[in-house]
């Protein structure tokens, strides 16, 4: 399958990848192309801006969370019907996951190789002249399996500065495909976990994306970038299909949970029965409603998680804990993902009818990070739902990184002893009450999260494409 594609990378974080990638998506979309937006790594925030720019869901490509084997199929799934795909990298081009043993695993370069995609290097030129060429030459020659096809200069100060940098880089044999001047209004506002999510900024975010599209459209060689994207060869893989993965047969999947052989029979016996063709309970023909939190306070989630729930027979319905005073009608299960409830604690606390309904809900609940905070008794002193026995609070410490977690209790989506790959990203902490049953344990950490037969709430973010049986289990528990 052939999808023209290009990777936007940089020597280091802060060079302007998000500005260029988002602006390129917006500029190409404004010119009538159907652009498929992607992000290397686990980040949720950049894909929100990508979705605004391309008018398609922003999707993540992460070999650690899902497996190397799934990167190309997930890319092809997200890019179905697109004219071109733009993939924003993570950190520096060769920076990978130390949790995976180093070596650049899950780096932008790793994903570019898996997709056989050309790379454009975004270089911050604000404090250099001809020396830029030495940096670019080093990146080009460091790893011959990564094909760097051009450079975009960012934060250029003047016409003379541009001439110096352009001439030096072109001596290396690479084309300069764009030059962005220093623009105070070209960025997006940040806070304690990075950029403010696009869903929170609404109209402001739309205007920012429009400005970035205009900036990149005026400053970059769009035809040259498209020509480079068209040099990417066909991918010898089939698109990922959630319907093929939503039912778990007890066998180990690449990147999915692992378990001891003695548990295999229990795992198979515990899976739900559903008809993949109808996506409904065989006994009733009714799709159970799974209420998934959204709105400004809960913006983090992978599109594939919802797609797997739907394929497993659930009807996914969104609700906003800031505004909706009741769960969607007929709710049989609740999923509360990540986000920034700490920024909305008073408003969440004020919605007492919904908090009481969530507290009294007797179906399965799955919560990640922000969802954990919302299910706690309090958040920075403001009353929350009280589903889990914990107090939550803001801290000054950033907790960030990949985790290889072992489930230490049964829950609607896990079985004791299974291993899952996820990530943490928060500046909050929870203080559990006595007798709380943890969900996870991983190297360097004590017991983490809260688990029980009808709930799992923890800081761990999981990409369900890497563990698709979680969707089948959750949908089955909702029946």
Q: Which residue from 50, 23, 48, 46 is spatially nearest to 36, judged by alpha carbons?
A: 50
Q: List the structure tokens of 137.
A: 């030459």
Indicate the pLDDT class of residue 58, thresholds 50, 70 and 90.
very high
pLDDT (0 to 100) of residue 137: 97
Cα–Cα dist 218/267, whole Å? 56
In the predicted model, is pLDDT for residue 321 greater than 50?
Answer: yes
pLDDT tens profile 390-412:
999 999 888 889 999 999 999 99
CATH architecture of 5-229: 3-Layer(aba) Sandwich (3.40)
Rounded to 10 degrees, the C-alpha dihedral 270/267/62/338 comes to 40
Residue 354 CA neighbour count, 13 Å, CB half: 23
Q: Identical fold at 5-229 and 242-478? A: yes
In the predicted model, is pLDDT for residue 301 greater than 80?
Answer: yes
Q: Does domain 242-478 have CATH number 3.40.50.300?
A: no
CB 64, CB 100: distance < 8 Å: yes
Q: How is 205-232 classified by DSSP, letter by letter?
A: HHHHHHHHHHHHHHHB-HHHHHHHHTTS
pLDDT (0 to 100) of residue 191: 39
Beta bridge partners of 38: 59, 87
Give the other-Cβ count within 10 Å of 170's Cβ: 13
Cα–Cα dist 173/124, whole Å? 19
Phi/psi for 361 (5° steps) reads: -65, 130
Cα–Cα dist 146/156, whole Å? 26
% of the chain residues with pLDDT over 90: 79
Cα–Cα dist 46/29, whole Å? 17
Q: Which residue from 181, 173, 252, 237 is spatially nearest to 468, judged by alpha carbons?
A: 252
In the predicted model, is pLDDT for residue 269 greater than 60?
Answer: no
Q: How is 74-120 classified by DSSP, letter by letter?
A: HHHHHTTT-SEEEEE--SSTT---GGGTSTTTTSHHHHHHHHT--EE
Indicate the pLDDT class of residue 283, thresholds 50, 70 and 90.
low
Query: For residue 407, with 0-12 CB atoms within 10 Å meaning exposed, 13-18 middle and 19 or more buried, which class applies?
Result: buried
pLDDT (0 to 100) of residue 187: 59
Any catalytic annotation for residue 478?
no
pLDDT (0 to 100) of residue 431: 92
**Choice among 165, 369, 385, 478 that is catalytic:** 369
The residue-averaged pLDDT of 472-478 equals: 96
Among the listed ranges 61-75, 242-256, 334-348, which one has the minimum average pLDDT value? 242-256
Phi/psi for 293 (5° steps) reads: -65, 140
The residue-averaged pLDDT of 148-172 equals: 96
Among the listed ranges 53-62, 77-86, 147-156, 183-192, which one has the minimum average pLDDT value? 183-192
Q: List the structure tokens of 123.
A: 């270089």
Beta bridge partners of 336: 367
In the predicted model, is pLDDT for residue 265 greater than 50?
Answer: no
The shares of helix, strand and coil residues in the chain, as percent rounded to the nearest 5, are 35, 25, 40
The residue-averaged pLDDT of 204-209 equals: 87
Q: Where are the domains of the chain?
A: 5-229, 242-478
Listed in sequence order, the residues at least 6 apart from 184 whose beta carbon sits closer than 8 Å to its beta carbon are none
Per the rule left: phi > 0, alpha: psi between -120 and 50, beta: everything else, 371 is alpha
Q: Which residue from 421, 397, 386 is spatially nearest to 407, judged by alpha carbons?
A: 421
CB 106, CB 100: distance < 8 Å: yes
Indicate the pLDDT class of residue 31, thresholds 50, 70 and 90.
very high
In the predicted model, is pLDDT for residue 101 greater than 60?
Answer: no
pLDDT (0 to 100) of residue 203: 77
CA 465 → CA 52, 71, 240, distances in Å?
Answer: 23, 10, 9
In the predicted model, is pLDDT for residue 248 greater than 70?
Answer: no
């Amino acid at each position: 399958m052939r999808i023209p594609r290009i990777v936007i990378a940089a020597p280091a974080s802060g060079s302007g990848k998000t500005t260029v990638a988002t602006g390129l998506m917006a500029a190409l979309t404004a010119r009538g192309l159907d652009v498929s937006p992607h992000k290397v790594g686990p980040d949720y925030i950049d894909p929100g801006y990508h979705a605004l720019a391309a008018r398609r869901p922003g999707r993540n490509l992460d070999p650690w969370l899902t497996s190397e084997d799934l990167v190309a199929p997930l890319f092809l799934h997200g890019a179905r019907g697109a004219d071109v795909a733009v993939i924003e990298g993570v950190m520096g081009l060769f920076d990978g996951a130390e949790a995976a043993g180093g070596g650049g695993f899950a780096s932008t370069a790793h994903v570019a190789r898996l997709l056989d995609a050309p790379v454009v290097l975004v270089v911050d030129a604000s404090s250099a002249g001809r020396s830029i060429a030495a940096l670019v030459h080093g990146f080009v020659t460091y790893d011959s399996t990564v094909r760097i096809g051009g450079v975009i200069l960012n934060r250029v100060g003047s016409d003379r500065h541009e001439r110096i940098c352009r001439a030096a880089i072109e001596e290396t044999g690479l084309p300069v495909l764009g030059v962005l001047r220093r623009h105070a209004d070209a960025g997006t506002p940040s806070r304690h976990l990075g950029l403010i999510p696009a869903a929170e900024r609404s109209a402001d975010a739309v205007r920012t994306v429009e400005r970035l599209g205009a900036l990149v459209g005026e400053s970059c060689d769009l035809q040259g970038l498209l020509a480079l994207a068209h040099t990417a060869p066909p991918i010898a893989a089939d698109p990922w299909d959630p319907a093929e993965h939503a039912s778990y047969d007890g066998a180990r999947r690449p990147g999915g949970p692992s378990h001891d052989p003695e548990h295999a029979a229990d795992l198979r016996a515990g899976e739900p029965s559903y008809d993949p063709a109808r996506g409904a309970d065989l006994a009733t023909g009714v799709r159970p409603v799974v209420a998934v939190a959204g709105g400004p306070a809960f913006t983090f989630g992978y599109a594939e998680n919802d797609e797997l729930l739907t394929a497993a027979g659930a009807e996914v319905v969104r609700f906003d804990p800031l505004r909706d005073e009741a769960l969607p009608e007929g709710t049989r299960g609740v999923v509360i993902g990540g986000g920034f409830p700490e920024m909305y604690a008073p408003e969440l606390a004020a919605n007492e009818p919904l908090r009481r309904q969530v507290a009294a809900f007797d179906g399965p609940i799955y919560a990640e990070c922000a969802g954990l905070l919302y299910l706690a008794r309090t958040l920075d002193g403001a009353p929350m739902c009280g589903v889990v026995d914990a107090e939550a609070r803001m801290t000054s410490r950033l907790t960030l990184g990949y985790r290889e977690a072992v489930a230490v209790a049964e829950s609607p989506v896990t079985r004791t002893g299974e291993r899952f790959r996820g990530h943490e990203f928060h500046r909050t902490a929870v203080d559990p009450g006595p007798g709380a049953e943890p969900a996870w344990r991983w190297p360097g950490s004590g017991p983490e999260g809260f688990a029980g037969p009808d709930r799992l709430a923890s800081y761990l973010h999981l990409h369900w494409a890497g563990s698709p049986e979680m969707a089948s289990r959750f949908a089955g528990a909702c029946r």
